[in-house]
Amino acid sequence: MVVGGLPMTAHAEFSERVPLPVDAVASVHTFFDEYHVADSVQERLIETVESGGTWESMSSASIPVSTETERTASAEKLVSRYSDGSVGVQSREVPTDDGAISGCSRSGTNYSNCTVDFWYGLVGMSFKADYSLAPGKNRVTNQWGASWTIAGACSTNKNYFGRPNSSTARLEVQAQMCAVPYTTTFFLELSVSGNRANYNYG
């Protein structure tokens, strides 16, 4: 996790372990149970966060040790597993060619009403976007519907939601964390280039 150019691990000077709220711990266990993370690993990861540390899954810059793709009729999930035992899940709607307005649809090189999100047990972020993958003219044309959930935060505030350039949509949420008290910023970003849509988070 990078905050203003500094990794969140900079907060590791907090040597005292401060427990996460009960509902935050329950949320983390539910997520890890779904992805078959061993109980002992779950407890170690929770202790890491409570001591001011980070998980590898907290940044798309981390390199997973394995990935799995899960596809349904409406969505595609990329499940990434990391050497510390943490898991990150990126999900995007699978576009249809039937022009349906209730979900992600594709007409030629134009994609509409598409949801992108990620989740790693503590933090989830999501928004919808329209974009074009026309050769030489990749661009994001609209973004809306930002939502997020940050377990263990006393308060959250949307810092930014927009397009910093024509090929990118970005959501930034600032959170005041309760366990080890500090303020940090989480982000989710859609970028289009090379006739592909890419997702980054941290």
What confidence category does residue 7 fall into, taking pLDDT thresholds of 50, 70 and 90?
very low
Bridge-partner residues for 92, per DSSP? 76, 116
Total-model pTM: 0.77
Q: How far apart are CA 125 and CA 120, in angstroms?
A: 10
- Does position 132 have pLDDT exceeding 90, yes or no? yes
The region of weakest confidence among 10-24, 55-69, 75-89 is: 10-24
What confidence category does residue 176 fall into, taking pLDDT thresholds of 50, 70 and 90?
confident
170 compared with 93, residue with greater pLDDT:
170
- Does position 191 have pLDDT exceeding 60, yes or no? yes
What's the token pair of residue 34? 């779904």
Q: How far apart are CA 174 and CA 159, in angstroms?
A: 6
The region of weakest confidence among 3-7, 12-16, 162-166, 191-195 is: 3-7
- Picking from 108, 112, 186, 196, the residue whose alpha carbon sits closest to that of residue 151 is 186
Q: Which whole number is the average pLDDT over 32-52?
A: 92
The region of weakest confidence among 29-33, 91-95, 164-168 is: 91-95
First vs last C-alpha separation in the chain:
5
The region of weakest confidence among 91-95, 138-142, 165-169 is: 91-95
Q: How far apart are CA 125 and CA 148, in angstroms?
A: 4
What confidence category does residue 10 fall into, taking pLDDT thresholds of 50, 70 and 90?
very low
pLDDT given for residue 179 in this prediction: 61
Per-residue pLDDT tens over the stretch 74-126: 778 889 999 999 999 988 777 777 555 567 888 899 999 999 888 888 889 99
pLDDT given for residue 99 in this prediction: 53
The region of weakest confidence among 63-67, 74-78, 136-140, 178-182 is: 178-182
Q: Which whole number is the average pLDDT over 135-162?
A: 91
